[in-house]
Amino acid sequence: MAAREHEYEFAKKRQAEERKLIDEIRRKRACVKNASRFPTEKNIQSKIRNFIRSILSIVTSNYLSVSFANVRGNRPQYFADMKASLYRSQLEKIHLEVSCTLDRIRFAAEGISMAHEVYNLLVLSDGAIESSRESFFSEDEQGVMLEPNFTADFIRKEIDFLEELRHQIENEIKEAQIQEESEEHESAFDSMKRMITEMREDMETKHTQLQMEISNQNERINEMFKVLLEMKKTSSRANEIYEHCEQAPTEDKKDPEEQPEEDLLDLPDDNDLKEYGYYDNSTTSVLNSSDDGIDPKQESYREDQRTLELKERRAEIKEYLKEMSTVPERKISRVDQMRYKDQYLVCAFCLVKGQHYSDSCPSYVSVKSRKKRVRCRLCLDSRHDTEQCRSEVKRCRYCGSKNHDKALCILPEDIDDNYRELEEIQKEIESFDESY
Which one is predicted more confidently, 197 or 272? 197
Q: Residue 412: which residues within 8 A CB-CB, separation 6 or more?
A: 327, 329, 330, 398
**Highest-scoring range by mean pLDDT, 30-34, 250-254, 384-388:** 384-388
* Per-residue pLDDT tens over the stretch 131-148: 888 888 888 888 888 888
Alpha-carbon separation of residue 324 from 327, 331, 353, 367, 411 (angstroms): 5, 16, 32, 19, 9
Confidence of residue 431 (pLDDT cuts 50, 70, 90): confident
The whole-chain average pLDDT of the chain stands at: 80
Do residues 233 and 280 make contact, with C-beta atoms less than 8 angstroms apart?
no
Q: Which DSSP state fits 296?
A: H
Number of other CB atoms surrounding residue 327 within 10 Å:
17
Do residues 172 and 166 make contact, with C-beta atoms less than 8 angstroms apart?
no
- Which helix (H) or strand (E) segment holds residue 141: the answer is strand 140-141
pLDDT of residue 354: 82
According to DSSP, the residues that pair with 352 across neighbouring strands are: none
- Indicate the residue type of 112: I
Name which of 128, 131, 111 is nearest 119 in CA terms.
128
Is the pLDDT at 368 greater than 80? The verdict is: yes
Confidence of residue 110 (pLDDT cuts 50, 70, 90): very high
**Highest-scoring range by mean pLDDT, 163-172, 215-224, 234-243, 277-286:** 163-172
CA 51 to CA 33: how far, in whole Å? 29
The arithmetic mean of pLDDT across residues 232-240, rounded, is: 72
pTM of this prediction?
0.37
* Per-residue pLDDT tens over the stretch 145-159: 888 889 999 999 999
